[in-house]
Amino acid sequence: MYEVVGGVRARAFRVLWMLEELGLAYRHLDVAPRSEAILKYNPTGKVPVLLVEGEPIIDSTAIMTYLADKHGGLTFRPGTLERARQDAMTQFVLDEMDAVLWVAARHTFILPEEKRVPEVKEPLKWEFERSQKVLMDRAEGPFLMGEEMTLPDIIAAHCVAWAMISKFPLSDDFRAYGKRLAGRDAYKRAANG
């Protein structure tokens, strides 16, 4: 059985949601970032960590890619053109949305107060707005890659929820996309953790 280490309010949620979508058994250890419990698995103190037969895998995207490939769900087959396009979509969401939200979070509550630059948030919001349009224009159907949900949908929908909490502007279509995915049974099960 898989063990997911990290809180539901962090990127660990993405892993929990994927496990629920795949119908896999897991145990969830609700552990805070930078706590002693997480440091024994990840020296950066970041969550999530997936324990596979006691061996840690760190980084939510690496974990989800491992799970998708191992269990043949929420992904295209490795080595295919479709998978390359999926990976490009994943990287776009990570680079242009997740990273923007992460920088804003760092300058809101993560960095020591004297290191924060609150003024950075306005250009980040502008960048996030622009990226939403690009993402929605690239979407190929009800999901980012077409008719079937894939790994980048989990990251993008998580970014919608994160943006709402962070008071980042959301376009109507991006908000509706996130709301639709948040209505999935697997999402709800993961959220109730």
- pLDDT at residue 63, rounded to an integer: 99
- pLDDT at residue 96, rounded to an integer: 99
- pLDDT at residue 134, rounded to an integer: 98
Give the C-alpha separation, 15 to 21, whole Å.
10
Residue 86: is its pLDDT beyond 90? yes
Using an 8 Å Cβ cutoff, are 94 and 131 in contact?
Answer: no
- pLDDT at residue 25, rounded to an integer: 98
Domains (ranges, CATH) in the chain? 2-74 (3.40.30.10), 81-184 (1.20.1050.10)
Q: How many CA atoms are closer than 13 Å to the CA of 152, on its beta-carbon side?
A: 28
Burial of 109: CB neighbours in 10 Å, binned 0-12, 13-18, 19+:
exposed
Q: How many CA atoms are closer than 13 Å to the CA of 105, on its beta-carbon side?
A: 14
Give the C-alpha separation, 156 to 140, whole Å.
14
State the chain's mean pLDDT as an integer.
98
- pLDDT at residue 49, rounded to an integer: 98
Using an 8 Å Cβ cutoff, are 24 and 4 in contact?
Answer: no
> Using one digit for the tens of pLDDT, what is the confidence trace for 160-186?
999 999 999 999 999 999 999 999 999
What is the maximum span of the chain, computed from C-alpha positions, in angstroms? Answer: 48
Contacts by residues 13-17 (CB-CB < 8 Å, ≥ 24 positions apart): 13/158, 13/190, 13/191, 14/48, 14/60, 14/64, 14/154, 14/155, 14/158, 15/48, 15/50, 15/60, 15/63, 15/64, 15/67, 16/190, 16/193, 17/154, 17/158, 17/186, 17/187, 17/190
For residue 113, the tally of other CB atoms under 10 A from its CB is 6
Q: Percent of the chain, pLDDT > 70?
A: 99
Q: 38: pLDDT confidence band, cut at 50, 70 and 90?
A: very high
- pLDDT at residue 22, rounded to an integer: 99
